[in-house]
Chain A
Amino acid sequence: MTIRLNGEERHLDAAATVQTALDLLDVTPDSRGVAVAVDREVVPRARWHETPLHDGAQVEVVMAIQGG
């Protein structure tokens, strides 16, 4: 399947989960200050491993940065 991960096109296996995509960004369930939305829906970190992705999914992975 093809997804967009933080704006970039990525090709993943049909069985890919949210965590499969996060592996490409070195994000693990232990990473602090990180959150994920798939098609605008927040996926809680406890479900990253079990949540399947679908072709065309828009995956946004964000982290804490300095900001006012």
Chain B
Amino acid sequence: MSTVERSPTPAAATALGAAAAADPLTIAGRTFGSRLLLGTGGFQSLEAMAEAIRVSGSELVTVALRRVDPAARGSIMDVIAEAGVELLPNTAGCYTARDAVTTAQLAREAFETNWVKLEVIGDDRTLLPDAIELVEAAEILVDDGFVVLPYTTDDPILARRLEDVGCAAIMPLGSPIGSGMGINNPYNVAIIRERTQLPVVLDAGVGTASDAALAMELGCDAVLCASAISRAHDPRAMSLAIRAAVEAGRLARSAGRIPRRLHAEASTPDAGIPHFGGGDG
């Protein structure tokens, strides 16, 4: 099969895009036209990453910090500057509040932004957040003037703690980072959305477009995606698919879905059914 070059039908794409444009995302007073945040990890090349950024429509993309490699060729900074998008540095790889705080401070210096995607993980097998270290780091960073977007579990009480210490958004996982398992506990994500005043960004676990649509239908304000796009067979096509899914899910949420019922409910009225008579009936 050839890789996908098609957009959704032009009329549908235009209508979705118009609906999305009229409904921007606001985090910490900053407004974004796109509700898809793109993680830049996992792309085979900077060119593939640049193309995915462009196609995704994302205006906020994550970057990480690692020790300088003098042999590194080509800079992600150039690609992101070229794309005209905002940077969201992360603290990936930090296991303690102390390391996460230092990493965030380095990111602020390196990128001249006080925004940080705060990750403090508990172990390298699950990459699940360490709740205790996470809240501690969040509190220190908020006090230090950071706009903190914490990667957290799908625990509504932990979300409340993060809101209490002054975070700017809640970013619950759907399932473990890079697992592609989708949203394991949609009920918790819905409860987090119901209980917090902050924007909720579904972060981690998205495997394909329908997962992103579900996140938005559950009421999330945005979706952050990395591996689902960067490790797809065709990152460009998946970028487009997830973009459309985020827009469709958002629209579906605001449209108001019908309730689930155990039994059928006919959409065609019973009144006026003809009775034909005759024969054996």
Contact = CB atoms under 8 A, between A and B. Distances in A.
Contacts, number: 99
B152 interface: no
Contact residues on A (Cβ < 8 Å of other chain), bracket: 20 to 34
Q: Is the interface of B mostly helix, strand, loop or mixed?
A: mixed
A32 B75 contact: yes
Interface stretch (B28-36, B100-108, B247-255, B268-276): B100-108
B62 A67 contact: yes
A64 B39 contact: no
B69 interface: yes
A4 B49 CA distance: 34
B65 A63 contact: yes
A45 B43 CA distance: 30
Interface residues of B, number: 37
B70 interface: yes
B65 A68 contact: no
Contact of B68 (A25, A37, A42, A67): A25
Contact of A66 (B64, B105, B107): B64
A63 B39 contact: no
Interface of B: 39-43, 46, 49, 62-70, 72, 75-77, 89-90, 92, 102, 105-111, 177-178, 224, 226-227, 230
Interface of A: 6-7, 25-27, 32-37, 40, 42, 44-45, 60-68
